[in-house]
């Protein structure tokens, strides 16, 4: 059997099929090629010692051996139909219908036939070749990735194959539709009964303002640029019309000779957001009799699997990088994208800037003109150019964000055809590529006054430059019952703060872009799964029931994590827009929340200016009513005056935790570098001696001082000393913190101070007064 495609029939059909067992499964005889094989997911870090790369499996297939040889009896859905009827949604993603599957006999196919060869029967040999090349390349790539991952000594938790979806599915806990649910506020939007019933399941009693304004425009065929504050329901503002269009289209007769094409492509700047959008749309579709196939195409997860998903997708949500990688590596997915009717650019201002520029441009190019990399293809494409340009006109472009910088906003809202110089690096150039079908897309701004959520309270804590760790700890301690998101400006800081907070007994979880994708999703899942206190019955809550996500700005955009009560900006945001998006992770969908900036002395003034800029429009409106124009934005952010006496009583804890963390990180780093040197020495065939290497000057040049310092810390703190430090810290953590005058105590385990009250301006500077009434012991 060729090594690049190997197939097995899985025994696990019975286990997999528990969920749907009402109908007996109809089976029919099929050739091995006609079966819908699924690539076996080989865990990352798994070397191909056993030759598992390229292995494929299938479930629910009976292998019948009789005098005529071997036959395969497969569920009807598991057998491919002729072109145009491809409605099967793939094994592995959805449980298959059950019944007699338990009897399925495992067997191994005699010969593997690559899907590309089947495609070639349809007349496209090139595609087949590309796919073949692609899958070999994929194996190599996966292998290389596995090697790289092995080299990474970063602790990554065990992977969970189920993690790639449903991380955000707050909406997945769907109840049966309530027939009495009042949907009258949705009626003016003229939605189909199926979709209304889905909305009733979600228990959304009325559309949010952006939904009420954007849905009719989109359903009337307009291009839309939607601006609305964070957490205001923008995803379903474009999600509902897309699903509605899919429902209308799915009732039409499919044309027999037409390849399946997706209806919508949604571009997202981050992987997590792509998965979240996908989960939101899936949740919307959960109650429908037939649902569109929704798939998210992001980096960090199996490219081969995503390639297959793309081919059958109705709604594609992707990050430009991975999407472009797949498109480049195979032409078989092009047809999925060419005929899309909706192009959505979510978090447009970020997506059209940052590092996504090139790939986004390539994708937009392709949507209008097709691939330009291959001469053969180009020739074929040119004949169809006109036809395709016409097709492109049919596409609606929807652009959404909570923030649009002024220039971008003017360009977007003003007109679609810009007077451009031939500057392919400019943002305008990319905007032109969006190829709006209308000269003037509908610009909808449902909250022109403020981009910030209505129920958000903002605070600023002024502290010493070197005291941020201490104030971070104090702030978290003052809000012990909260799910908190801490933003930093660097990956290193996430890697340092997370273990430090953990040493302090806090449930800190890291999130940054250097983590492998499954670890990123796992972190989000853990954060989301952490229980929140039941505020209604004032239940006693300990830290074990809250969670702290320490993240870079990778978590700043679009993430909809329920019940984030507090956002702390450990580093001040780099821009006013970043401040809006970070703070927008709390106070979502009519909930309340607080956003706290930790500012060093030098940061205070520029930060206040930055925040004032965000609030200037709102203030301007207010002040024009009262004829005051001074200090715009000032006063919106409440200065939080934490009693320094309490903070100073936490200092020893933080110093110890820092010392332990620094030593640990230095050790990890030295070990990592040592391993790297060892491997390099092995490859060169020389003996490795770290001290000799060091003496010989391997560590000369830039960074030598830092490395030496790290090595010193790493070797200075012995195992025994580390254990002693930990014991000391444990001792400190077990003691109550004497808060002074009132002789009340703040513990690390429970209780806290009402930061909300401080933010309301009550008891400013009167922290101790708040300790009363919190039920803390004497
Ligand atoms: N009509 C509605 N009624 C109540 N809740 C809604 C409604 N529509 C959406 N939501 C909920 O509101 C929350 C925020 O929605 P969404 O993530 O789409 O916000 P957003 O405007 O895209 O935010 P951001 O700017 O941060 O990306 C989600 O939990 C979503 O399920």
Range name among 48-52, 375-379, 743-747, 754-758 with the lowest pLDDT average: 48-52
Q: What is the pLDDT of residues 86-110, one digit of tens each?
A: 222 222 222 222 232 322 223 323 2
Q: What is the pLDDT of residues 526-583, one digit of tens each?
A: 998 876 544 444 443 344 447 999 999 999 988 888 889 899 999 999 988 899 999 9
Residue 684 confidence class, pLDDT cut points 50, 70, 90: low
Question: Is there a contact between 569 and 599 (Cβ–Cβ < 8 Å)?
Answer: no
- Measured by CA distance, the residue closest to atom 22 of ligand 1 is 234
Q: Is the pLDDT of residue 126 over 60?
A: no
Q: Give, for ligand 1, the residue of 589, 592, 593, 595 to mutate: max count of ligand atoms closer than 8 Å to Cβ.
A: 589
Taking Cα atoms as reference points, which of 484, 448, 453 lies closest to residue 590?
A: 453
pLDDT at residue 44, rounded to an integer = 40
Q: Take residue 261 and report the two structure tokens written for it.
A: 């094409």
Q: Is the pLDDT of residue 15 over 80?
A: no
pLDDT at residue 51, rounded to an integer = 35
Range name among 226-235, 297-306, 337-346, 542-551 with the lowest pLDDT average: 542-551
Which alpha helices (DSSP H) does 590-634 contain, by range? 601-626
- Using the mean position of ligand 1's atoms as its centre, give its distance from the Cα of residue 558 in Å: 9
Most confident of 58-67, 148-157, 459-468, 758-767: 459-468
- Using the mean position of ligand 1's atoms as its centre, give its distance from the Cα of residue 302 in Å: 29
pLDDT at residue 529, rounded to an integer = 84
Nearest-atom number in ligand 1 for the CA of 199 is 1
Q: Take residue 154 and report the two structure tokens written for it.
A: 């970063």
Q: Is the pLDDT of residue 156 over 80?
A: no
Tell me the CA end-to-end span of the chain in Å, nearest whole number.
76
Q: What pTM, to 2 d.p., does this model score? A: 0.65
Give every CB contact of residue 169 below 8 A, 6+ residues apart in sequence.
Answer: 279, 282, 283
Which H or E element spans position 129? helix 125-151
Average pLDDT in the chain: 69
Mean pLDDT, rounded, for 343-369: 79
- Using the mean position of ligand 1's atoms as its centre, give its distance from the Cα of residue 482 in Å: 21
Q: Is the pLDDT of residue 597 over 90?
A: yes
Compute the distance between CA of residue 244 and CA of residue 264 in angstroms, rounded to an integer: 12
pLDDT at residue 451, rounded to an integer = 72
Nearest-atom number in ligand 1 for the CA of 228 is 21
Q: Is the pLDDT of residue 288 over 80?
A: yes
Is the pLDDT higher at 171 or at 549?
549
Nearest-atom number in ligand 1 for the CA of 283 is 31
Nearest-atom number in ligand 1 for the CA of 347 is 27
- Measured by CA distance, the residue closest to atom 25 of ligand 1 is 230
- Using the mean position of ligand 1's atoms as its centre, give its distance from the Cα of residue 517 in Å: 24
- Using the mean position of ligand 1's atoms as its centre, give its distance from the Cα of residue 534 in Å: 22
Question: Is there a contact between 23 and 123 (Cβ–Cβ < 8 Å)?
Answer: no
Residue 358 confidence class, pLDDT cut points 50, 70, 90: confident
Question: Is there a contact between 101 and 13 (Cβ–Cβ < 8 Å)?
Answer: yes
Q: Give, for ligand 1, the residue of 560, 564, 580, 592 to mutate: max count of ligand atoms closer than 8 Å to Cβ.
A: 560
- Using the mean position of ligand 1's atoms as its centre, give its distance from the Cα of residue 16 in Å: 33
Is the pLDDT higher at 310 or at 61?
310
Task: Give CA 351 to chain center in angstroms.
Answer: 14
- Using the mean position of ligand 1's atoms as its centre, give its distance from the Cα of residue 743 in Å: 45
- Measured by CA distance, the residue closest to atom 9 of ligand 1 is 233
Cβ < 6 A, ligand 1 pocket: 170-171, 204, 207-208, 211, 228, 230-236, 402, 558, 560, 584, 588-589
- Using the mean position of ligand 1's atoms as its centre, give its distance from the Cα of residue 351 in Å: 19
β-sheet with 69-75: strand ranges across: 27-30, 69-75, 62-66
- Using the mean position of ligand 1's atoms as its centre, give its distance from the Cα of residue 528 in Å: 16
Most confident of 72-76, 347-351, 607-611, 643-647: 607-611
Q: 741 exposed, middle or buried (CB, 10 Å; 0-12, 13-18, 19+)?
A: exposed
Helix (H, G, I), strand (E, B) or coil at 269: coil
3-state DSSP of 29-53: EECHHHECCEECCCCCCCCHHHCCC
pLDDT at residue 182, rounded to an integer = 85
β-sheet with 6-9: strand ranges across: 6-9, 55-58, 38-39
- Measured by CA distance, the residue closest to atom 1 of ligand 1 is 207
pLDDT at residue 494, rounded to an integer = 97
Mean pLDDT, rounded, for 677-698: 61
Range name among 260-274, 357-371, 399-413 with the lowest pLDDT average: 399-413
Helix (H, G, I), strand (E, B) or coil at 208: coil
Mean pLDDT, rounded, for 495-500: 97
Q: Is the pLDDT of residue 311 over 50?
A: yes
- Measured by CA distance, the residue closest to atom 20 of ligand 1 is 231
E strand spans, 208-310: 224-227, 264-267, 294-297
Task: Give CA 529 to chain center in angstroms.
Answer: 16
Q: What is the pLDDT of residues 173-211, one digit of tens each?
A: 455 666 678 889 999 999 999 999 999 999 999 999 999
Nearest-atom number in ligand 1 for the CA of 585 is 26
- Measured by CA distance, the residue closest to atom 6 of ligand 1 is 233
Question: Is there a contact between 427 and 421 (Cβ–Cβ < 8 Å)?
Answer: no
- Using the mean position of ligand 1's atoms as its centre, give its distance from the Cα of residue 490 in Å: 28
pLDDT at residue 622, rounded to an integer = 55
The dihedral through the CA atoms of 76, 79, 84, 86 has a sign that is: positive
Q: Is the pLDDT of residue 394 over 90?
A: no
- Using the mean position of ligand 1's atoms as its centre, give its distance from the Cα of residue 187 in Å: 19
Mean pLDDT, rounded, for 302-313: 86
- Measured by CA distance, the residue closest to atom 3 of ligand 1 is 204
């Amino acid at each position: 059997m060729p090594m690049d495609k190997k197939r097995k029939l899985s025994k696990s059909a019975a286990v997999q099929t528990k969920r749907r067992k009402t109908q007996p499964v109809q089976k029919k005889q099929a050739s091995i090629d006609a079966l819908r094989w699924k690539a076996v997911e080989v865990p990352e870090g798994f070397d191909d010692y056993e030759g598992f790369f390229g292995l494929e499996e299938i479930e629910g297939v009976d292998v019948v051996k009789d005098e005529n040889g071997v036959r395969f009896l497969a569920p009807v859905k598991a057998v491919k139909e002729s072109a145009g009827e491809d409605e099967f949604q793939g094994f592995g993603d959805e449980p298959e219908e059950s019944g007699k599957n338990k009897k399925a006999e495992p067997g191994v196919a005699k010969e593997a036939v690559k899907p590309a060869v089947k495609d070639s029967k349809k007349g496209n040999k090139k595609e087949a070749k590309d796919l073949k090349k692609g899958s070999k390349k994929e194996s190599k790539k996966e292998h290389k990735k596995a090697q790289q991952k092995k080299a990474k000594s970063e602790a990554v938790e065990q992977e969970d194959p189920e993690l790639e979806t449903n991380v955000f599915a707050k909406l997945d806990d769907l109840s049966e539709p309530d027939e009495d649910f009042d949907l009258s506020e949705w009626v003016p939007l003229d939605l189909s009964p199926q979709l209304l019933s889905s909305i009733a399941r979600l228990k959304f009693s009325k559309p949010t303002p952006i939904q009420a304004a954007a849905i009719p425009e989109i359903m009337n065929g307009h291009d839309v640029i939607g601006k609305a504050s964070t957490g205001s329901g923008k995803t379903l503002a474009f999600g509902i019309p897309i699903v509605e269009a899919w429902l209308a289209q799915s009732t039409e007769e499919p044309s027999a000779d037409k390849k399946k094409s997706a209806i919508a492509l949604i571009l997202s700047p981050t992987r997590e957001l792509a998965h979240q959008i996908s989960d939101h749309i899936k949740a919307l579709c959960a109650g429908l009799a037939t649902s569109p196939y929704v798939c998210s195409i992001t980096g960090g997860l199996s490219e081969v699997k995503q390639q297959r998903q793309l081919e059958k997708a109705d709604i594609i949500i992707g990050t430009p990088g991975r999407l472009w990688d797949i498109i480049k590596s195979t032409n078989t997915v092009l047809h999925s994208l060419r005929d899309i009717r909706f192009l959505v650019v979510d978090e447009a201002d970020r997506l059209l800037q940052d590092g996504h520029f090139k790939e986004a441009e390539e994708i937009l190019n392709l949507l209008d003109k097709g691939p330009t990399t291959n001469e053969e293809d180009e020739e074929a494409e040119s004949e169809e150019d006109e036809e395709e340009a016409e097709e492109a006109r049919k596409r609606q472009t929807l652009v959404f964000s909570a923030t649009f910088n002024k220039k971008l906003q003017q360009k977007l809202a003003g007109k679609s055809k810009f007077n451009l110089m031939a500057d392919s690096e400019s943002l305008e150039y990319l905007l032109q590529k969006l190829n709006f079908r209308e000269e003037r897309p509908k610009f909808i701004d449902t909250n022109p006054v403020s981009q910030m959520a209505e129920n958000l309270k903002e605070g600023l804590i002024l502290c010493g430059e070197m005291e941020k760790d201490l104030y971070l700890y104090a702030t978290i301690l003052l809000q012990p019952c909260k799910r908190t998101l801490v933003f930093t400006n660097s990956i290193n800081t996430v890697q340092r703060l997370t273990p430090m907070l953990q040493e302090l007994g806090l449930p800190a979880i890291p999130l940054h872009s250097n983590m492998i994708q499954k670890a990123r999703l796992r972190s989000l899942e853990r954060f989301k799964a952490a229980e929140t206190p039941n505020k209604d019955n004032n239940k006693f809550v300990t830290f074990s029931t809250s969670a702290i996500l320490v993240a870079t700005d990778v978590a700043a955009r679009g993430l909809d994590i329920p019940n984030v009560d507090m956002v702390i900006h450990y580093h001040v945001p780099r821009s006013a827009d970043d401040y809006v998006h970070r703070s927008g992770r709390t106070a979502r969908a009519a909930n309340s929340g607080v956003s706290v900036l930790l500012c060093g002395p030098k940061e205070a003034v520029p930060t206040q200016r930055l925040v004032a800029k965000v609030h200037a429009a709102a203030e301007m409106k207010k002040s024009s009513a009262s004829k005051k124009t001074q200090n715009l934005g000032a006063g919106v952010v409440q200065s939080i005056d934490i009693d320094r006496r309490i903070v100073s009583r936490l200092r020893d804890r933080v110093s110890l935790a820092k010392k332990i963390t620094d030593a640990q990180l230095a050790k990890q780093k030295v070990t990592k570098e040592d391993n790297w040197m060892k491997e390099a020495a092995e490859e060169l065939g020389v003996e490795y001696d770290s001290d000799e290497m060091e003496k010989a000057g391997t560590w000369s040049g830039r960074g030598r001082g830092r490395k030496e310092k790290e090595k010193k810390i790493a070797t200075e703190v012995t195992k025994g000393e580390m254990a002693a430090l930990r014991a000391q810290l444990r001792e400190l953590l077990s003691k109550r913190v004497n808060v002074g005058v009132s002789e009340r105590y703040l513990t690390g385990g429970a209780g806290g101070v009402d930061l909300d009250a401080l933010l309301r301006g009550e008891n400013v500077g009167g922290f101790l007064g708040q300790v009363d009434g919190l039920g803390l012991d004497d």
